[in-house]
Structure 1
């Protein structure tokens, strides 16, 4: 691949070590690329409010594709640039399917306001008894009726002890045009975003106005929610710790996230 114009990088399991830090080598490699004129963006399943620890670790504030492509976030200005949502009617249909097909599953939704600090909009809303897949949840617990009362950027379906891949395969039998199913952990958590929305469409939304083509993008990822981005990029790189689906989609497999896999690739172009 010729010199990339844009670097699209997943966060968890890719840019971050397993202790949620960015190694000095990886940080230096990213800074070297940006100093040379490359664009660096985050492409993550995280909502915008969970981007800020990454911004602090990087030492600069990049554009971010959040919620698996449903939200474009300008972290430098703390501004939501664009949002794709599941309408209320669709949320209701998806919730009915999820609770019927995955008995015992809990539901949650992600919403966004105008910025990370928009307190007028409860951003992570969960059903009673929802058991979180992540530490330090920042949810607001509401009734199912309230949960489904407003559009959301994604619906989360959670069943502790289940396998995300098996949940996704079962849901796929019943969910078609209502939304796209993906997952970023195999810890019993599946996410549904608006149909046709993924990290690849999010990266394109940032790159296209800059005159950057798919062929000029290098993308890094490790999980099934990264697959569309890895396939569409001019050069898709899977981490050595990646899920088999991500490995199969990539043009290259680098070292694991714990061994500076991102840096090892970037250093080929930028010392």
Structure 2
């Protein structure tokens, strides 16, 4: 079932935070894909204060392995991958499919798109890795095993994401053509990869993945703070109790959130985490002070 995408009420948005959900590329990570020492420390401090950070990303599972030491026990060791299609236990490298596209749906969606977009080619992100048909050619930022199969073989196994390119079309025209042809048969996300269409199953978004993860841990949506930078983050940002964009975010994202923080290169997410940790510490101190003065108040009465 799709996550409720209606924005929380003002009262819900002011609720105490229980978890910070963050996108990775362009948000938590620097432009070179690394995690700054300051942000690493801020994640640890917030977790010690009782607020874990859960990664919610378009990345496939295998692109998360280098972050295993940052994914804390408080999240169950889980990162949410492929725009909500997979839960990935990073330390054990175990993929759980929570919202994949069935083989019959892969074939149907591809047929619709081939009829509408000349020269389109496909690949998939599956639980067992990346697989493409021969005509899908794209330079990828991170290394990947390059498995080439016939389209029938590619589409024979459920996939977290269906990827598409059409090199002869301008990126904006390609994205618009895919959106029109796809209709409501799937979810088209834009994570910043120019000229790449990233499609998940109908109703599967970062919001649905995060909602499932939170429900399993008894966390209400109004207790979730979320931060992102690109349009594929919007479902998660609208679902969460309080939403943030980094200053380098897409204009549509900056316009949709409660608050804009510093850019990823200036550790904007660390600023949020520092605020969370300080508020938690201050709250504990206040409660301890209330308990300390209570007996004296009773004596005075």
Q: Normalization by structure 1: what TM-score?
A: 0.89
For 2:162, the equivalent position in structure 1 comes to 155
For 1:25, the equivalent position in structure 2 comes to 38
- What does residue range 106-255 of structure 1 map to in structure 2 within 5 Å? 106-112=121-127, 121=128, 123-135=129-141, 136-160=143-167, 164-255=171-262
Check 1:40–1:124 CA distance in 2 against 1; reply closer, same or farther (3 A cut).
Answer: same
Contact 1:98 1:157 survives alignment (8 Å): no
Runs (5+) with no aligned partner, structure 1: 113-120
For 2:10, the equivalent position in structure 1 comes to none
User: Deviations along 1:200-241, whole A, 9 cap, x unmatched?
Assistant: 111111111221111100111111110000111111111111
Paired residues in the alignment total 261
Say whether 1:90 aligns with 2:96.
Answer: no
Q: 2:47 aligns with which of 34, 56, 59?
A: 34
Q: CA RMSD in A?
A: 1.9
Contact 1:74 1:80 survives alignment (8 Å): yes
1:51 and 1:166 map into 2 onto residues whose CA distance is: 31
Check 1:131–1:208 CA distance in 2 against 1; reply closer, same or farther (3 A cut).
Answer: same
2:66 and 2:167 map into 1 onto residues whose CA distance is: 26
Runs (5+) with no aligned partner, structure 2: 1-13, 279-301
Q: After the TM superposition, list the runs of 4 or more consecutive aligned residues in structure 1 that deviate by more than 6 angstroms.
A: none
2:177 and 2:240 map into 1 onto residues whose CA distance is: 29
Higher share of residues assigned helix: 2
For 1:264, the equivalent position in structure 2 comes to 271
Check 1:37–1:163 CA distance in 2 against 1; reply closer, same or farther (3 A cut).
Answer: farther
For 1:4, the equivalent position in structure 2 comes to 17
Q: Normalization by structure 2: what TM-score?
A: 0.81
